[in-house]
Structures are given as structure tokens and as C-alpha cells.
Amino acid sequence: MPGDRRPTLSDVAARAGVSKSLVSLVMRDEPGAGPETRRRVLDAAAELGYQPDSRARLLRSGRSRLLGVVFGIQHAFHADLVTDLYTAARETGYELALSAVTPHRAEPEAITGLLQDRCEALILLGPQSPVASLARLAERLPVVAVARGVRSPAIDVVRNADADGLRRAVDHLVELGHRRIAHIDGGRAPGAADRRSGYRDAMRRHALGEGEGEWRGEGERRGQAERRGEGNPRGEGTRGGRGRRGGGDGIRIVRGGLTEEDGAAAARALLEDLPTAITVFNDRCATGVLDVLAREGLKVPGDVSVVGYDDSHLARLAHVDLTTIAQDTAMMSRLAVGRAVARVEGEPVQQREQVVAPHLVVRGTTGPVRAGRPRPRSRR
């Protein structure tokens, strides 16, 4: 019952009739113990239900072999990354210490916890802290930012080529014959600026770039500041912008966001003058778009094609079956863990930033462009 003291190394040693040192060796699978001794020790440990105390172990050895991971508990994409991070870490002999960012637990708090646990490096998923404070953090221990480009020489970055991803989405749609292609963006979310420019570049490359209009309902101009992605990417300023176009092809960017709701709002804004294809900031947002389209009685991909981003679980669901741009989370996780370990072990490092190529996953929401204008069946 919970009340007996837990067995320690000494208990095992006593029971096996050997010294603590031997038990220590055996438990860590180090060479230096005879086979017979090894067996006796293992038996004793099993009988006592001995579990090594990681705290004492790490205290003494001076290192924790712990990689701290900060993630947003509400982010499906972070969940995918964490899953792969566990796998990647297992191969390196380091353990993961998880610390969640929640609506009531901000990033600094999540980080502090990990520092007290003496993590040897930090892997931050989509970090929201200002670059300056991340840089300060990096003075204390290696910091790897994943899925957000951080412009600081002190911080390693693993991200996917966002611009490239959107280029692939547009290329795919153009191949299918689409010319009226809109983009629902991610506002100030990490990666959103790059995805916007990827969309813009691709449109121009296909000679669909003329006639770009205002895209923010508030009439606010896009500035440099937003490229830095500072501030909270969620929950503010995501009201759907009004896409104003007089017809013809052209770049058309509507303010979206990270959530289903953002996507739904943006989709409603597009209904006035529907394009034949929509590229969306991420899968979650695309789900909201699909939902609105369905309620309007529009066929996907018959009337409108939709491309998401992330290849999250959502996209793979049979009834969603979303064509999307996949981020290679397994690769990104391996790189993040690898880099963290390299820094901890003082290995030389080439490039501070590692960019992973995304790839297109064609599913059921994209198809050839149709003749004639789709009409929404009704307004909700």
C-alpha cells in the first residue's frame, strides 16, 4: 500500500548481497558486472518492485538528460509534433518533459517549470514570446523554436517552407484549370505571412497576379510589423475581411485565422463573389470553410475546390477528406530533437535554421474547374 517506503538502491543491494555500485551499474545496463551478479541484482530489483529515482540519479550525474517541450494544449498540430518528438527522443537517450501552455498558463510559466526541472534544452512549439525574451532564455540553455521562424542568432529554428507550401497548393489548382483562386490567411499567426507571400508569388508566376485589392475589412494596411508575428496569434482581429474585386482573375486574400470559426467567417465573406478555388491557412480553418460551403449547398470540389495546410488528423478524416499541404512532423521532430541534443553535447552546428519542404497531399476537396458560376443555394 502507499505508505511503505519505496525501495532504494541500497535495499536492492542488500537483498542481492552486493554493493550499491554494482546495482547502479546493472540498473543502467553498463558493463562491469558479472552475469551471475547481474541476474541476482535484477531479480532482487524485480521482487522489490524497485524503480530508480530519476531525481537523485540526475542530481548526482549533474545532468538531467531532459529536453523540455512547451506546447499549446489546444493545438492539434502540436499534438502531432509531440507525438513525433517522443519517438525522436527515444532514439537519443533523452527524455521529454512536457509543459503545456493553456488559456490560464502562459508561456513564461510553462518555461519556468521546465527550467526548475533542469532541462538541458528547450523545444518550443510555436513560441509566442517576443524574440528578445527568447534570446535571453537562450543565454541559459539551448533553445529550439519549432513551427515559428525566430529571427535571433541565439535560437535554432525548425520550420517548414511555408511559402513553398502555398506555391504547391496554387500550382496544383492551376493544373486543374483554376484561375480564380483566393487565399484565406492566418492573420498574424506564425507562418501566415510566408504563406501569404507564397500564394502571391505563385499567382504572379502563373500570371494571375494583377489587380490585388484591399483585403482587410478594417482598411488597415499590411505592415512590416506583422511579419514578425509578435503578440497573441489567437482570438483577436479575426473578423472576416471583405474581399473586394470587380471580377476577373487576381490575387485575393481574405483575413482568416487559426480556427474553424475564422474560416467560416472568411468563407462567408467570399460568398459574395465566389472563386473556383480557395487555399486556406490551415486545416482547422479549412474545416470551417467547408462547413459554410456545405450549408450553402455548394459542392466541393464541384463548385469550389479547397486546399488546407498541415495534413492534420482533421484533414485525413474520411468525411472531410481534405486536400492539403503536409508538414513533415516526423522530420521536424527529428530535426528539433537532434539539434537540441547537438547543442547540449556541444557538437558543431551548420545552419541555425532548418527548413523542411512540405508536400501536397491530394484528397477529395480539389478537382477540375467547372464551367459556369456556382450560386449559393441560400443564405444561412
Partner DNA sequence: TTGAAAGCGCTAACAT
Partner DNA sequence: ATGTTAGCGCTTTCAA
Binding of residue 42 to DNA (CB under 7 A): no
Judged by CB under 7 A, the stretch of 33-41, 129-137, 238-246, 313-321 that binds DNA is 33-41
For 98, list phi and psi in degrees, rounded to 5: -90, 140
C-alpha span between 108 and 131 (Å, rounded): 13
- State in angstroms the smallest separation of the CB of 349 from DNA: 25
Q: In whole angstroms, how close is the CB of 47 to its own copies at the nearest point?
A: 14
Name which of 116 and 224 has its Cβ closer to DNA.
Answer: 116
How many residues at the interface with DNA, by CB under 7 A? 30
Chain centroid to CA 94: 21
Residues 6+ apart with CB under 8 A from 373: 274
- Return the residue of 32, 231, 248, 302 that touches DNA, per CB under 7 A: 32
Pick 97 or 176: Cβ nearer DNA: 97
Query: Least Å distance between CB 60 and its own copies?
Result: 9
In degrees and rounded to multiples of 5, residue 223 shows phi and psi of: -115, 180
Q: Is 22 in the site for DNA (CB under 7 A)?
A: yes
Report residue 199 as a C-alpha cell: 500564394
What letter represents residue 225's amino acid?
A: A
- Told to check if 62 binds DNA by CB under 7 A, we report yes
Q: Residue 211: which of DNA, its own copies, none does it interact with, CB under 5 to 8 A by kind? A: none
Q: Examine residue 8 and tell whether it contacts DNA (CB under 7 A).
A: yes
Which of its own copies, DNA, none does 42 bind, CB closer than 5 to 8 A by kind? none
Stretch that binds DNA, among 8-16, 77-85, 212-220, 346-354 (CB under 7 A): 8-16
Which residue, chain included where needed, has cell 529550439?
Answer: 144
Cα–Cα separations (whole angstroms), residue 339 to 155, 239, 246, 335: 11, 38, 50, 6
Interaction of residue 39 with DNA, rule CB under 7 A: no
With binding defined as CB under 7 A, does residue 115 bind DNA?
A: no
Q: Verify binding: residue 31, DNA, rule CB under 7 A.
A: yes
Minimal distance, residue 358 CB to DNA, in Å: 41
Is residue 272 within 8 A of residue 173, CB to CB? The reply is: no
Minimum Å gap between C-beta 210 and its own copies is 33
Give the residue with the Cβ less far from DNA, 9 or 138. 9
The binder of 103, among its own copies, DNA, none, by C-beta within 5 to 8 A per type, is its own copies
Buried b (16+ CB within 10 A) or exposed e, 234-268: beeebebbbbebeeebbbbbbbbbbbbbbbbbbbb
The item of its own copies, DNA, none sharing an interface with residue 319, based on CB under 5 to 8 Å by kind, is its own copies
Strands, sheet with 359-361, edge to edge from the N-terminal-most edge strand? 253-254, 181-184, 277-280, 305-310, 323-326, 359-361
Interacting residues with its own copies (CB under 8 A): 1-2, 6, 49, 51-56, 58-59, 64, 73-74, 76, 79, 82-83, 86-87, 95, 97-100, 102-105, 112-113, 115-118, 138-142, 259-261, 264-265, 288, 290-292, 294-295, 297, 313-314, 317-320, 343-344, 377
The interface partner of residue 99, options being DNA, its own copies, none and the CB cut-off 5 to 8 Å by kind, is its own copies
Q: Smaller CB distance to its own copies: residue 294 or 362?
A: 294
Contact between 61 and DNA per CB under 7 A: yes
Site residues for DNA per CB under 7 A: 5-6, 8-10, 17-22, 24-25, 27-28, 31-34, 36-37, 50, 52-53, 56-57, 59-62
